Chain A
Amino acid sequence: MKIHVGGYGFQGLAALEHISDLASKGNIILNKLTGYYTVTAEALGEGEAISRLNEFVKSLFGTLKVMDGSTISSPVGLRDKLQKIRHCRIWSRQNYVFESDVRDFFLKGVSGSTDASSEVFDLEERSLKLVSGAAGEVAASCISILGLFPTFMGRYVATTFFSQIPVSFLSDGDIVLLNLRDPSFGKLNTASN
C-alpha cells in the first residue's frame, strides 16, 4: 500500500501533523514542502525540520507568494504588481529564481536513505517518475519546484504544476491525503489566474 501526500503549496503543510502516523502504514509518496519536511524530519529530527521549513518559507516568501498568487485574498498593491512583473521577466528568461546553492543550503546534513519517494516529472523522457533511496536526493527533488530552483539533475521538476497532490502512481487500496484547494476562493481577474 502506498500513501500519497503533498501539494498545493502552503496548504500542503496541513498534512504535517499526520505524516508520522501515515509513514508507518506503507510507502509514502510525497512532493513539495510536505516532502521536504518529511525527509528532513527523518534525517535530522522533527524540531530541525520545522525550523528549516520556517526558514525556507521566510527566505523565499516573496517568490512563493507570487507562485501561489491565486489564493492571496488581500488586495493586490503596487508592490505585489511590481513583484509579479519582476517574476514574469525572470520566468521568461530562465527556469528558476534562486540558484541551486540556495537549494543546497536547505539540504545541508540531509543524508542516509529514506523509504519515502518523491514524485517528479522527467523533462528528458517526458514522463512521471519516482525518486527514491538517498534522502538528500528525495528532499532535493521535492523542492525542485518549477520556477523556484533549477531542475533537479538537469531534468526533473516536482509535479507541482501537473497533479499537485502526487497521485500519478495511484493504485487500488492506496491512501490519499486530500487537501484540495477550492478554486472558487481564487480570483479570476487575470488570464493567469
Chain B
Amino acid sequence: MRERGTDLQCDACLFLNVFGAALPSGVYSRTIRKHSNRYRFSNTKIPFVCTSTAICSAELLVQNEGSIYEALRVSMAIPGLFKPEKKGDLTLADGGIPNNLPVSVAREANSTFVVAVDLSSSNRVTSFNTSNSILGVMDEYRADLILQREIAAADVLISPVMTRNIDMMGFSSFIDVMNESYEETLGCDLNGVTL
C-alpha cells in the first residue's frame, strides 16, 4: 500500500514538473460559462467579490466588477489542477494561494458584519519521510498563520465539524458534509444578529 502511495506521489511530482496542469480547464470553463456567463457583478443583490493571485507578484487581487464568469475562471485556477489564466500583462491563479479565508477583503469592501466560514481540514501531514511531505508541513504552518489572522478579524466564525475531518479532495462524502454542515450552521450563535 505504501509503495502505491509513494508511486502516486512520484507520478504527481513528475506531472507537475512536466505539464502546466492536471485537468483540462476548457471543460470546466465551459460548464461555468453556461451557468454564469450572463451575470455581471453589478447584477448581484448582495455585493459579491472574489479573489485571485497575480503569480509574478504574489499579490491578492480583488475582482468586483465586470463578468462574473471571467472572475470565477481565474479564481478557480488552482495551481497544479488548472492552468493560470492570462489577463492583459498579468498571469492570474486561485486567490486561495496567499489567503484561503479573505476576511480582510470583506472588511475592505465596507462590510458591516463579517461571517467567516472556515472549511480548512484539521487533518495534518504527520510524516517527515519525504521532501514532499516536509513541504506540506511548512505550507500548513504558513497557511495557519494567515488563517488565524483572518479569523481574528471576523465577527462570527462558522467552522463545521464535518469539514474538519476531510481532505480537499474528499469529494465522495461532499453531500453528507454539506447537509450536516448546513444543520450545524443553522445552530450557530451569530452574536444576536439575524441574517
Q: Which residues of A contact B (CB under 8 A)?
A: 81, 84-85, 88-96, 121, 123, 126-127, 146-147, 151, 155, 157, 161-162, 183-184, 188-192
Contacts and interface: CB of A to CB of B under 8 A. Distances in A.
Given A151-B128, A188-B84, A161 B14 contact: no
Interface stretch (B41-49, B52-60, B95-103): B52-60
Chain B interface helix/strand/loop/mixed: helix
Interface in B1-36: 6, 9-10, 12-22
B138 interface: yes
B17 A94 contact: no
Interface pairs A-B: 7 shortest CB-CB: A92-B10, A91-B131, A88-B13, A92-B9, A191-B16, A147-B131, A191-B80
B138 A190 contact: no
B192 to A, nearest CB: 36
B177 interface: no
Given A121-B141, A123-B137, A126-B141, A92 B16 contact: no
Contacts of A92: 6, 9-10, 12-13, 130-132
Contacts of A85: 14, 17
Contacts of B20: 188-191
A151 B130 CA distance: 11
B131 A162 contact: no
Interface in B130-148: 130-135, 137-138, 140-142
B143 to A, nearest CB: 12
Given A91-B132, A94-B131, A162 B138 contact: yes
13 contacts: A81-B18, A90-B131, A91-B130, A91-B132, A92-B9, A92-B10, A92-B13, A92-B132, A121-B141, A157-B134, A190-B17, A191-B15, A191-B79
How many of chain B's residues touch chain A, expressed as a range? 35 or more
A67 B141 CA distance: 21
Contacts of A121: 138, 141
Contacts of A184: 56
A124 to B, nearest CB: 9
Which label, helix, strand, loop or mixed, suits the secondary structure of the A interface?
Answer: loop
A2 to B, nearest CB: 20
A92 B9 CA distance: 6
Nearest to A151: B128
B129 interface: yes
Contacts of A90: 131
B19 A190 contact: yes
B131 A96 contact: yes
Nearest to A94: B130
B17 A183 contact: no
Interface in B78-102: 79-80, 84, 91
A157 B134 CA distance: 9
Contacts of A188: 20, 55, 84, 91
B40 to A, nearest CB: 29
Contacts of B91: 188
Contacts of A161: 135, 138
Given A84-B17, A183-B56, A93 B10 contact: yes
Contacts of A88: 10, 13-14, 17
